[in-house]
């Protein structure tokens, strides 16, 4: 997984984590479509610059999703095969000895945060594009752009796990 994450070709997989990561990709795709609708110019150029940083955030989301899929494969449940065995115990139902699901001290939350941040950036870009379309000579564009850049910076500052899985 050394290649740059590509929102147009998400990693293969299935299940809960795949869906959340796909939603992260959707946010980046939405951003790309918004930028594509904008007329050439300085604003569009700046949005294209910020797109590179979104790829970095998408990459960290991909690593989180891969890690989660490895550590919590049957989320939010435990491995159904294990539960079936424990339920079949001849003495007592041992499923009760385990909690309802595996404990997650924040991995899911970190991935959901990434998704939310990416969507916030895409929505800000959409608002900026609409504003420019409605008023091509708007004077507050720098403020909007600055807000968008801040959103991207916030997304990048959030958890960015090192590429442990890349080494595996």
- Min dist CB 80 to other proteins, Å, is 11
| CA–CA separation, 21 and 116 (whole Å) | 11
159 to 88, 153, 156: CA distances (angstroms) = 41, 12, 8
Region of 1-9, 33-41, 78-86, 123-131 interacting with other proteins (CB under 8 A)? 78-86
Pick 38 or 112: Cβ nearer other proteins: 112
Number of residues that bind other proteins (CB under 8 A): 33
Q: 142, 57 in Cβ contact below 8 A?
A: no
Is 82 a binding residue for other proteins by CB under 8 A? The answer is: yes
DSSP per-residue letters across 77-133: S--HHHHHHHHT-SSS-GGGGS-SS---SSHHHHHHHHHHHHHHHHHHHHHHHHHHH
71 binds other proteins (CB under 8 A): yes
Map tokens 């491995």 to a residue. Answer: 79
Minimum distance, C-beta of residue 76 to other proteins, in the bound complex (Å): 14
**CA dist., res. 52 & res. 46, Å (int):** 11
* Whether 111 contacts 12, CB under 8 Å: no
**Contacting range for other proteins; rule: CB under 8 A; set: 4-12, 16-24, 106-114, 119-127:** 106-114
**Binding to other proteins by residue 2, rule CB under 8 A?**
no
Does 56 help bind other proteins (rule: CB under 8 A)?
Answer: no
Minimum Å gap between C-beta 55 and other proteins is 18
79 binds other proteins (CB under 8 A): yes
Residues in contact with other proteins by CB under 8 A are 67, 70-72, 78-79, 81-82, 85-86, 89-91, 94, 97-98, 102-107, 110, 157-162, 164-165, 167-168
């Amino acid at each position: 997984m050394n290649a740059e994450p590509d929102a147009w070709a998400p990693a293969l997989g299935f299940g809960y984590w795949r869906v959340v990561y796909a939603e992260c990709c959707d946010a980046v795709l939405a951003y790309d479509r918004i930028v594509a609708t904008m007329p050439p110019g300085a604003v569009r150029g700046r949005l294209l610059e910020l797109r590179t940083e979104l790829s970095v955030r998408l990459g960290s989301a991909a690593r989180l999703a891969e890690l989660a899929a490895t550590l919590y494969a049957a989320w939010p449940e435990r491995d159904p095969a294990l539960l079936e065995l424990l339920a079949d115990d001849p003495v007592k139902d041992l499923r009760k000895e385990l909690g309802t699901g595996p404990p997650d001290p924040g991995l899911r939350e970190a991935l959901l945060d990434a998704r939310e941040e990416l969507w916030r950036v895409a929505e800000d870009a959409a608002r900026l594009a609409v504003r420019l379309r409605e008023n091509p000579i708007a004077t507050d564009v720098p403020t909007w752009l600055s807000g968008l850049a801040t959103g991207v910076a916030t997304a990048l500052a959030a958890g960015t796990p090192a590429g442990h899985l890349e080494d595996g």
